[in-house]
Structure 1
Amino acid sequence: MTPPDSFSYDKAITRIEAIVSQLEENDKSIDELAALVKEASSLVKACKKKLRATEDDIAKAFDSED
């Protein structure tokens, strides 16, 4: 997995969209499908983690203002 400092949410979303397009083509072997789904799953998990971390950072920023 990508180190947190170099993770790009936007690049991950772009890659997920590309994977979805590839999956919609219906011309992949089962092995290719499995690899694409695994990659997409990993990217989605990383995006969720990034969103949670960002949400925590925002909450902490507002908490520190009080």
Structure 2
Amino acid sequence: MSDKKNFSYDKAVARIEEIVSLLENDDKSIDELSDLVKEASKLVKDCKSKLRMTEEDILKAFGEEDH
């Protein structure tokens, strides 16, 4: 994620859903499929990172940081 502060988890999930819908359409070229899969993969990675950071923030807020 290049801009973590402005990352929107909800927007990323919506885009992933859009990509899945596009992938279900059979009229994409190999290049288009490749680009869509790469984009979805990056979005999934960014979402996982956001979830981990959120979990850490919650644990810190409740004084349960695991170090």
TM-score range, shorter chain: over 0.9
Q: Deviations over 1:13-38 (max 9, x none)?
A: 00000000000011100000000000
TM-score, with structure 2 as normaliser: 0.91
Which structure has more helix as a fraction of its residues? 1
**Residue correspondences, number:** 64
> C-alpha displacement at 1:59, in angstroms?
0.4
| Stretches of structure 2 lacking an aligned partner (at least 5 in a row) | none
Aligned partner of 2:41 in structure 1 is 41
Root-mean-square deviation over aligned CA pairs:
1.1
Residue type matched to 2:42 in 1? S
Q: Distance in 2 between matches of 1:49 and 1:60?
A: 17
Query: How far apart, in 2, do the equivalents of 1:2 and 1:13 lie?
Result: 17
